[in-house]
Amino acid sequence: MRERVQFSPEMAAAGIDPISFEVIRGALQAVCNQIGVVLAKGALSMVINQGRDFSAAVLTPNGDLVMQGEDDFPNFTVIQPLSTKAILKVIPAESMREGDVYICNDPYLGGTHKPDVRMCRPVFFEGELVAFVSNSGHWPDVGGQSPGSFPVDACDIIAEGLCIPPLKIAENNEIVDPVERMILANVRLPVVTRGDMRAMVSSLRTGERRLLEHFERYGKDVMSAVMQENIRYSERLLRAAVRELPEGEYTWADYIDEDPGKPEGERTPIKVQLTAKIKEGRLIFDLTGSDEQATGGVSAPISMTESALFIATKAIFPEIPVNQGVRDAIEIVAPVGSVVNCQFPTPVVGCQSGAYQKIVNCVFGCFSQIVPERVIAASPSLLNVVLGGVDTREDSPLKGEPYVMYCWTEGGYGARFNADNGTFIALYASGTRNQPVEMFEQQFPLTWEKYELCTDSGGPGKQRGGLGVDRVLRMDGEKGSASVMGDGEKHAPWGVFGGNAGRTNLLVRNLNADREFNIGMFRSGAQIAEGDSIDLWSGGGGGYGDPYVRDPEAVLEDVIDGYVSIDGALRDYGVVIRELDWEALEYDLDLEATRAARQAAESNREKVVTS
């Protein structure tokens, strides 16, 4: 579904043909990629330079998204234009000058949570503002009451760390010293933060230079016309795709495990409900019916809700280029004061693992009723895990220095219509990477004892969900603390069309040993002593279709690969497999016994339905 390019009058007047249009679009993509390369190479934190928890973008002079990096964190796709527009409301474009860079991390000004910091730089050509280049990166700490700035028990957003309103961080290509000193005085890792901050500023200068090269080559009129046409092109494509869908209203709901801000005995599940309405070529996402905003930090500001709806819609229509046009083709109804449109000063640090993830799941659930071949089953929730303390290792060059180790979980995606889905993926964040365990052990007082796929964790189905990951790390320092902001311990990633749920998340100190303690999904400051272990289990994706019609040969391959156990093959798929020689990977698939097992299971299911 790629509509033929329909030229606007501006395109025709500029003399732009389809080939030139595609070439310039590719050049804009390259600008974003180059911003990302410089940022990753210059940043000091592992979160950015290894995990690639960042994004880069080119925007129009009024802040509309034109292009983002190919491998960037998609969550930031909508956030960067919203944040840039929020900055423009505070700092008018007329007051901006060449060499300026602006910074902001306020979740209620087009943001996510406070650790995600955004910057933008105005680009001038022949004295006229022609574009913005922007980036966003996750800093490992922005202050607040717990290392890593994921305070589960924060009573409001003020307690979640330093809030940076729209400020000028660079002027005439020089860092504004008072602003930098103010920021560094409020974080636990000033040296690392200084490196990340300056890498972000420097990468935008690279982006400006590369973008101006294209303005000089093609001229302002051509570049501006292509930037605008790129947006309108995506909007036309999505509107055309929606017109091909059956009209109707399609509803789905998903649940956050609990409100971590309430007392233990009062923590009930929080509903996120979405109705996708298709009427007269319009796509309306109506979140009416979602619960009210939470006391704890699992709600989403409207910017995160827009981002979730954008990303999920784009996943369903992957052929449509990513830019402002996708957002412009969507209408959103999000009740003020609800968990999907929370209001200041509601805490939001867990919005990505909370409301954001559930909104994405709901989009897939709604569209499973419209275009089932385009969706996936549910995927497990993100876990944000932070260890903090002082490095006491005798042989460490960092002895005596404070540390903040932040990692997020990789798990399995929900299964697809025609295939099993991937594993070791940072969920709904395809641009991020697994951070190397060797670098964790070098920089922090811990040792990784296990990092492996978890057998039987993928949701059984005709197509199997991606597997979860089991990780165990051991504390090597004298003492520290563990904090986690996650979800998905109580509500498993659901399957679709008869597929079963994947495994849930889990975080435990000293599993099956002395001082065993379930840290859970919502905890600040759990004490960790030398020799303690932390078992971190990320979940698997839900299955797609009836597991009892999965090809027995595919189940056998899963057993050989260690994805499914022999017991799991019989229990979940009705497939009978016997081990002949484990070391030689020799197994016997008994097809006759499999047919009998599946017939017995089908008979039992019919009895349950009848009763």
Residue 359 lies in a domain: no
Helix (H, G, I), strand (E, B) or coil at 101: strand
Residues 501 and 408 in one domain: yes
Residue 303 lies in a domain: no
Residues 466 and 600 in one domain: no
Strands (DSSP E) found in 409-509: 446-453, 469-475, 479-485, 506-509
| Per-residue pLDDT band at 427 (split at 50, 70, 90) | low
Residues 200 and 211 in one domain: yes
Residues 134 and 59 in one domain: yes
Residues 546 and 563 in one domain: no
Residues 541 and 583 in one domain: no
Residue 168 lies in a domain: yes
* Average pLDDT along the chain: 93
Last residue of a domain, one of 191, 209, 234: 234
Q: What is the pLDDT of residue 252?
A: 98
Residues 445 and 575 in one domain: no
Residue 385 lies in a domain: no
| Per-residue pLDDT band at 432 (split at 50, 70, 90) | confident
| Per-residue pLDDT band at 573 (split at 50, 70, 90) | very high
Q: Distance (Å, rounded) from C-alpha 358 to C-alpha 377? A: 12
Residue 563 lies in a domain: yes
Q: What is the pLDDT of residue 611?
A: 54
Domain range for 603 is 551-610
For residue 262, give both structure tokens: 């309430």
Strand partners, 529: 479
Angstrom CA distances, 324 to 22, 68, 146, 422, 515, stand at 17, 11, 36, 28, 52
| Per-residue pLDDT band at 2 (split at 50, 70, 90) | very low
Last residue of a domain, one of 189, 213, 234: 234
Single-letter residue type at 188 = R
Residues 176 and 166 in one domain: yes
Mean pLDDT of 157-179: 97
Residues 514 and 565 in one domain: no
Strands 402-408 and 330-333: unpaired
What share of the chain has pLDDT > 70, as a percent?
A: 97
**Closest-CA residue to 301 (of 270, 337, 273):** 337
Residues 524 and 579 in one domain: no
Helix (H, G, I), strand (E, B) or coil at 537: strand
Strand partners, 376: 416
Mean pLDDT of 132-141: 96
Q: What is the pLDDT of residue 1?
A: 43
Residues 216 and 203 in one domain: yes
Residues 398 and 546 in one domain: yes
Domain count, the chain: 3
Query: Higher model confidence: residue 507 or residue 604?
Result: 507
Four-residue CA torsion sign, 82, 61, 40, 34: positive
Q: Distance (Å, rounded) from C-alpha 218 to C-alpha 225? A: 11
Per residue in 158-176, is it b (16+ CB within 10 Å) or e — as a string?
A: ebbbbbbebbbbbeeeebb
Angstrom CA distances, 397 to 148, 210, 319, 394, 417, stand at 22, 39, 49, 8, 51
Is 258's pLDDT higher than 50?
Answer: yes
Rg (CA), the chain: 25
Last residue of a domain, one of 234, 268, 290: 234
Mean pLDDT of 12-20: 82
What share of the chain has pLDDT > 90, as a percent?
A: 83
Residue 515 lies in a domain: yes
Whole-structure pTM value: 0.94
- Cβ(420)–Cβ(465) below 8 Å: yes
Residue 462 lies in a domain: yes
Is 213's pLDDT higher than 70?
Answer: yes
- Cβ(362)–Cβ(260) below 8 Å: no
